[in-house]
Structure 1
Amino acid sequence: MTVTLRYSARSDIGLVRQTNQDSGYAGPHLCAMCDGMGGPAGGDIASAIAIEHLAPLDADSHQASEMLGLLREAIQSTHTDLVTLSNQDPDLAGLGTTCVAVMRSGNKLAMVHVGDSRAYLLRDGGLTQVTTDHTFVEYLVESGRLTREQARRHPQRSVLLRVLGDAEGEVQLDESIREAVPGDRWLLCSDGLSGPVTAETIAEVLSTVPDPGQAGDQLIDLALRAGGPDNVTAVIFDVVEEAEADTTPQLVGAVANRRARLAAAAGDSPESRPNPEAPTEILPTSPGPTAATPAAKAAALVAGLEETSGPPRTGEEEAVAAEAVAQGNSRRRRRRRSILATLVLVLALVVAGFLGYQWTQSQYYVTIADGKVAIFQGIPQALGPLELSHLVESYSEPDTTTLDDQMIRRLNETVSQPSLEAAREYINVTVMQHRTVVVLPQATTPAPSATPAPAQPAPTAPSAQPEPGAQTTAEAA
């Protein structure tokens, strides 16, 4: 039996936003979801352009080995168009979009992702978040500075690190090839769903509601019940083993609104215009000549999102139009003020950073480096790869092996000094006082061994010599 997709796409403007900047697409060989940004005049354009570039890939003529390359090419083309459009129109500066897209060929799925729109996979009752958000708070979570629960409430949780249209150059995509396993259910959604609705609740709905369309409706309803702070879009597809039935693609959100306007411009009756929140057949991208260059294609896509001209307007209509123009001008002024405020803030941060660095270089500290007492200029800290101190002097005396434990411990913790002279004085006076006194044993000359002197003969008393003429006793006898 052939593996096919059973799919649905649902989107809602939410309870706070004035426009729907999400765009969703679901078809037999392609499902995609894009969340635009850039204000009322940019986000819907960006997400619609991305879907228009991806939609032609919804065909069964592509090989599995080609899918990632085709997706990559479509995404890069989208990025180029958005950058070109932003450079041409100052009012569209900063427009961009996230994107998560899954393409099928046979039993293989190719996925590309950039931004914070998510892909979830439900397999055997367990829900897995397949994508990793390219956001500042996700970086903090992965580096261990925030927990998942803290990240859900962080005020900067929507700050994106990667997005389509933000800057010229190659797009950095997360890419993967996966098996299309029968029984799997996939959800592609914007942060308007994954933000207010927990992963546990999403898993419960996907596990208990068999029909993809009904599951999408229920998930959007839950997001609205949670406050609906953002546009909410859910693209759901099931991998099934059955013959292809309905192969009509479904478009929702900004791209559906754009195509409805194009249909109206082509002269269709109101009854025949596509419902932005219902399945919509593929219509021509734009009327008139084919747009060949990125700039021309972007201009044509923007034209499709603008209101078409009609018969002459009445005075009341003119007043409404004037009010709309005034509101548009007011939005542009607010946007310019916001950009100016951002620039001022960035400049203030740069100046503060420079002054802070200058202060650090007016400080000194004494420590042990490479086994020697040393003086460093700065503070013993670093900002990423930037070290805030450098070696000034090192000393062979005093020898660190002669210092007591108290001084060794103090130097290892670093001793701050207000100037180079003070640091030198600290070494010459305080550190020197903490040298341990080493008393070496005194070398003595060994006493010569006592050798007995040779015995001298005792002096003999001189024998009494008889005086001449005197007789000895014997002789006298």
Structure 2
Amino acid sequence: MSITLRYAARTDLGLGSKTRNEDSAYAGPDLLVLADGMGGHAAGDMASSTVVSELIGLDGESYGSDEALRRLASAVHDANARLRTEMDSDPELEGMGTTLIAFLRSGNMLALANIGDSRAYLVRDGVFSQITKDHSFVQTLLDDGRITAEEAEHHPQRSLVTRVLTGREDDEPDLSLREAKPGDRLLLCCDGLSDYVAHSTIEEIVTGDGTPAEIADALIAIALKAATRDNVTVIVADVVDGNDHSSSTTTPQIVGAAAAHEGAGSDAESAPRTPAEKAAALSREANAPTDDGGTDDEDGRPVLAEEGPRRFTGLRRSLLALLVVAILAAIGFFGYAATQRQYYIAEHDGKVTIYQGISQNLGPIRLHSVNTVSDIWVDDLPSFDRSKVSSLSMTAGSREAAIGIVENLRADMVTCQAQVADGSSC
């Protein structure tokens, strides 16, 4: 039996301190994508929108099921490589990353790619289940049997992710292929929903009656009622009979950072309407060259035919310069690698954060990047601990040791809050 999708995508900034939406989502006839960016400043929204823009070209195409999984895996790989390219071209973006949930439809099959702690749920025959596994510190504890599912839902370190797309070669998503049946309902969501709203509450809403748009609106509303401090984004999609054309959705929906990036350069009167046009428009923006496309020399001047002899002399000088640069780069590489085996604790967007590297820079070269942003607000720490975070004096030789420091800060915060509640100072 052929199937089609009826879908709705929604997002909200949330009630935290973020001034821009770092989530991106795309819902189309054959493709559902949700990405939760991280990295602070402009990096989080850049990461999520870049990945979404690389994937949406898959929508509107026809693939066999095995080919769909290969195409999806290839697109995720290309998107991850694009992140690396963006960071190489702009040091301010270093350390950015994003989670990813993506479904690509092929007939009545769904190819699935997942990395990070954004989630996909399935309702089938009234049964609500999570079909992705979080790549997180808490999930590791759960897999090892060190905590229960109930403890995992409220664990203070549930926001620590162990695997996301960061532009590194070893950023590999989980890939799978599953059958879709009419009557199925899919939910894709970021941790702005799952970290703040109880599993049972999400289940009650998603298994209830209503269109995907109504369910998506209800999920956003309950997340805001729960005072989510993060961006919250959801996609709800119903699987319907492919012969029932009145029930399917055909217009793509783009929300969050990807929509903001697309809208920045779009013309309302000539906006693309078909899935392929939407995909091409967003992809063109993400991959637009920074120059005017002309052929320039190393000084930025147009190259003229009569400049050949001068360019030959310049080539020899360039080769010598490259040799010197290569030697210096080799020295720098090993020095840089040594710095990346260190960690320190500092503030990032108001939260206690683990940085990888050392806090200094070497000229324009950043020797540090955000590794893990905790859920501890620096302002909630005792004054002594706040001063230590500000002074960048808390260092560690491994990520595990750095997490231990963060947990000690959490214990100090809890103790201080208890003393204040008892009328004492801390």
Match of 1:136 in 2: 137
1:126–1:203 Cα contact (<8 Å) kept:
no
Conservation of the 8 A alpha-carbon contact between 2:123 and 2:184: yes
What is the CA–CA distance in structure 2 between the aligned matches of 1:143 and 1:290, rounded to whole Å? 42
Q: Does 1:284 find its partner at 2:281?
A: yes
2:59 alignment counterpart = 58
What percent identity do the matched residue pairs reach? 42
Shift, 1:107, TM fit: 1.0
Q: Give the CA deviation at 1:105.
A: 1.1
Output aligned runs, 1:287-366, within 5 Å: 291=288, 340=358, 347-349=395-397
| Cα deviation, residue 260, structure 1 | 1.0
Q: Which amino acid aligns with 2:76?
A: I
Shift of 1:63: 1.6
Say if 1:180 and 1:239, in contact at 8 Å, map to a contact too. yes
Give the residue type in structure 2 aligned to 1:160.
V
| C-alpha deviation, 1:90, in angstroms | 2.0
Matched residues in 1 for 2:284 and 2:26: separation? 21
Pairwise CA distance, 1:186: 0.4
1:112 aligns with 2:113: yes
2:156 equivalent in structure 1: 155
- Note closer, same or farther for the CA distance 1:210–1:290 as it changes in structure 2 (3 Å cut): closer
- Give the deviation of 1:285 after TM superposition: 2.8
**Quick one: distance in 2 between partners of 1:71 and 1:172?**
12
* Structure 1 counterpart SS, 2:35: strand
Q: Secondary structure at the match of 2:111?
A: strand
Distance in 1 separating the partners of 2:348 and 2:120: 34
The DSSP-based 3-state class of the residue aligned with 1:54 is helix
Instruction: Kindly indicate whether the alpha-carbon contact (under 8 Å) linking 1:262 and 1:286 is maintained by their aligned counterparts in 2.
Output: no
Preserved CA contact (<8 Å) 1:76 1:170 = no
Q: 1:185-204 alignment to 2 at 5 Å?
A: 185-204=185-204
Q: Given residue 262 of structure 2, which amino acid in structure 1 is its aligned partner? A: R
**Does residue 251 of structure 2 align to residue 248 of structure 1?**
yes
Question: How big is each residue's C-alpha offset from its partner over 1:13-71, in whole Å with a ceiling of 9 and x where there is no partner?
Answer: 11112211111111110111100000021010111011111111112422212111111
SS of structure 1 residue aligned to 2:10: strand
CA distance 1:159–1:41, shift in 2 (3 Å): same
Name the counterpart of 1:101: 102
Q: Helix, strand or coil for the counterpart of 2:122?
A: strand
Shift of 1:345: 6.5
Residue 309 (structure 1) aligns with: none
In structure 1, give the amino acid aligned to 2:234. A
CA deviation profile, 1:90-143 (whole Å, cap 9, x unmatched): 211110100010111111111010000000001111111000000011101111
Give, as a single letter, the amino acid of the residue that structure 2 aligns with 1:197: V
- Verify the 8 A CA contact 2:116 2:136 in the aligned structure 1: yes
CA distance, structure 2, for counterparts of residue 289 and residue 208 of structure 1: 38
Once the two structures are TM-superposed, the CA of residue 144 in structure 1 deviates from its matched residue by 1.5
Whole-angstrom CA distance in 1 between matches of 2:168 and 2:69: 21
Structure-2 residue corresponding to 1:462: none
Q: What code does the residue aligned with 2:150 have?
A: E
Deviation at 1:346, TM superposition (A): 7.4
> 1:23 touches 1:255 (CA, 8 Å); kept in 2?
yes
Query: What displacement does 1:156 show?
Result: 2.1
Higher gyration radius (CA) = 1
> Once the two structures are superposed, what CA deviation does each residue of 1:425-453 show, in whole Å capped at 9, x if it has no partner?
xxxxxxxxxxxxxxxxxxxxxxxxxxxxx
Give the Cα separation in 2 of the matches to 1:179 and 1:224: 33
Where structure 2 has 5 or more consecutive residues not aligned to the other structure, the ranges are 294-346, 360-367, 370-391, 402-426
Which structure exhibits the higher relative contact order, with contacts defined as CA atoms closer than 8 Å and separated by 6 or more residues?
Answer: 2
1:416-427 matched pairs, under 5 angstroms: none
Kept in 1, the 8 Å contact 2:5–2:249? The answer is no
Paired residues of 2:189 and 2:233 also in contact (CA < 8 A): yes
In structure 2, the residue matched to 1:217 is 217
The DSSP-based 3-state class of the residue aligned with 1:234 is strand
- Per the alignment, residue 181 of structure 2 pairs with 181
1:204 is matched by which residue type in structure 2?
Answer: E
- Output the aligned Cα RMSD: 3.3
Cα deviation for residue 289 of structure 1 reads 12
What count of residue pairs does the alignment treat as equivalent? 306
Q: TM-score, normalised by structure 1?
A: 0.58
Give, in angstroms, the shift of residue 171 of structure 1. Answer: 2.8
Q: Which residue type is aligned with residue 161 of structure 1? A: T
Name the CA distance, whole Å, in 1 between partners of 2:212 and 2:283. Answer: 31
Q: 1:338 Cα shift?
A: 6.6
Q: CA deviation digits over 1:215-249, x for unaligned, max 9? A: 00001100000002111111011111133444111
- 1:248-295 per-residue CA deviation (whole Å, 9 max, x = no partner) reads 1111111011111111xx5x58xx989xxxxx955613668975xxxx
Give distance in 1, aligned partners of 2:354 and 2:103: 39
Contact 2:36/2:118, CA 8 A, preserved across alignment = yes
* Aligned residue runs from structure 1 range 12-31, under 5 A: 12-16=12-16, 17-31=18-32
Which runs of 5 or more residues in structure 1 are unaligned?
A: 275-279, 301-329, 354-477
| 8 A Cα contact 1:6 1:240, kept in partner | yes
Asked whether the equivalents of residues 40 and 348 of structure 2 are also in contact (C-alpha less than 8 Å), the reply is no
